[in-house]
Amino acid sequence: MNSLPLEGHSILFVGGKGGVGKSTMAASLAVHLADSGEQILLVSTDPAHSLGDLFGTSVGDRKREIIPGLHALEIDPGQEVERYLARVKSAMRHYVQPVMYSEIERQIELTRHSPGSEEAALMDRVTSLMEEGVTSHDRIIFDTAPTGHTLRLLALPEIMAAWTTGLLKSRDRSASLGKAVDRLQGREKASGDELAWFDDVKEEATDERTQKIQEVLLERQRRFSRARRLLLDPETTAFILVLIPEKLPILESEKTLKVLKQHKVPVAGMVVNRTLPNNQALGEFLESRRSQEAEYLQQIEKAFPKLPRVQIPLLSRDVQGIDALREVAQHLLIDR
């Protein structure tokens, strides 16, 4: 098999071990598809961005046209957390009494550096971009961070959906959230016949707030469920695994493939990058590497027999700039 079957797939994830050529492949796919007349959105989810270096121009957090038909952006997780917290703060203002603002803000501030907050904020942006990307562009291509990080990210919609479902199911818990807020405000002390009317008003207010909190959770849950549906749809999503013919990347790819299968993420194919060029005499040293490479290529063939696969030769220089990306794309052999 020597082509990547990407017909009709509107969401592509390019993943693999650190340094194997993910960004290079994502960018060269993007350039090639844009050259073929498609509208492409290329998104880097790796905090250590490199699209700017690849294209030789700065790529920021907002969509930027790189060549006709190709827009790119690099998600900045730190900035996403700030935006996310600002959104949460402003939403909370609608649901709690003004006297509670400073306490709530303090609590929200505490989450800024808590584990997982960057991933949650990143996932929020990725899910919105997935939805936006499939309508505004022909395809959206994600250049991802090294494997571990990306696998956690792909599992997040499921975890987040389950989490919000848990919160939603427990109406009691939401109601007691309202009560806890009241207690903190010292209003639970209000009792006695003369204050009965106040309790009624309080109940109503709590109900309204509870309902609003539930609406927000519900909307979030719907968005994560939609993202999950897109992610798991083999007609829509294609994960492309990049590796180089060496021991550790092969082992890591096997593990990755297993996890992707467990999560039912559709994998379209593999790019075996940086193979030694076979039409040139390489000298004794590199010929010895070539024979080792042949063994690893056989191992890849055995480990991933059913997966479509393309090979990209090692170029004489690092891949930089649109022309070099076009050169790489000639080897990508995409069925589209």
**Which residues contact ligand ATP (rule: CB under 6 A)?**
18-24, 46, 48, 50, 146, 273-274, 312, 314-315, 318-319
The site partner of 273 among Mg ion, ligand ATP, none (C-beta below 5 to 8 Å per kind) is ligand ATP
The site partner of 215 among ligand ATP, Mg ion, none (C-beta below 5 to 8 Å per kind) is none
Instruction: Pick the stretch among 43-51, 81-89, 164-172, 181-189 that binds Mg ion (CB under 5 A).
Output: 43-51
Residues 290-329 that bind Mg ion (CB under 5 A): none
> Which residue, 23 or 221, is less far from Mg ion as judged by CB?
23
At 109, which amino acid appears? Answer: E
Closest by CA to 316, choosing from 282, 291, 289, is 282
Instruction: Pick the stretch among 15-23, 66-74, 93-101, 191-199 that binds Mg ion (CB under 5 A).
Output: 15-23
> Which residue, 8 or 277, is less far from ligand ATP as judged by CB?
277
> Which residue, 40 or 319, is less far from ligand ATP as judged by CB?
319
> Which residue, 184 or 315, is less far from ligand ATP as judged by CB?
315
In the block, tokens 């957390």 appear at 81
Instruction: Kindly state the tokens that stand for 123.
Output: 């996932």
In whole angstroms, the minimum distance from the beta carbon of 318 to Mg ion comes to 13
The site partner of 18 among Mg ion, ligand ATP, none (C-beta below 5 to 8 Å per kind) is ligand ATP
Q: Is 45 in the site for Mg ion (CB under 5 A)?
A: no
The site partner of 5 among Mg ion, ligand ATP, none (C-beta below 5 to 8 Å per kind) is none
Residues 144 and 75: beta-carbon distance below 8 Å: no
Instruction: Pick the stretch among 47-55, 75-83, 232-240, 248-256 that binds Mg ion (CB under 5 A).
Output: 47-55
The site partner of 150 among ligand ATP, Mg ion, none (C-beta below 5 to 8 Å per kind) is none
Taking the C-alpha atoms of residue 200 and residue 117, their distance in angstroms, rounded to an integer, is: 38
> Which residue, 53 or 131, is less far from Mg ion as judged by CB?
53
Q: Is 147 in the site for Mg ion (CB under 5 A)?
A: no
Q: Is 23 in the site for Mg ion (CB under 5 A)?
A: yes
Residue 35 CB neighbours (<10 A): 17
> Which residue, 16 or 178, is less far from ligand ATP as judged by CB?
16
Taking the C-alpha atoms of residue 177 and residue 184, their distance in angstroms, rounded to an integer, is: 11
Taking the C-alpha atoms of residue 245 and residue 268, their distance in angstroms, rounded to an integer, is: 19
**Burial class, 31, CB count within 10 angstroms (exposed 0-12 / middle 13-18 / buried 19+):** buried
Instruction: Kindly state the tokens that stand for 4.
Output: 């990547």
Residues 149-208 that bind Mg ion (CB under 5 A): none
Q: Is 233 helix (H, G, I), strand (E, B) or coil?
A: coil
The site partner of 32 among Mg ion, ligand ATP, none (C-beta below 5 to 8 Å per kind) is none
> Which residue, 210 or 311, is less far from ligand ATP as judged by CB?
311
> Which residue, 19 or 116, is less far from ligand ATP as judged by CB?
19
Q: Which residues contact 274 (CB under 8 A, 6 or more apart)?
A: 20, 21, 244, 245, 312, 313, 314
Residues 130 and 230: beta-carbon distance below 8 Å: yes
Q: Which residues contact 44 (CB under 8 A, 6 or more apart)?
A: 23, 26, 50, 51, 59, 72, 73, 74, 75, 142, 143
In whole angstroms, the minimum distance from the beta carbon of 19 to Mg ion comes to 8
Closest by CA to 161, choosing from 230, 258, 239, is 230
What is the binding site for Mg ion (CB under 5 A)? 22-23, 50
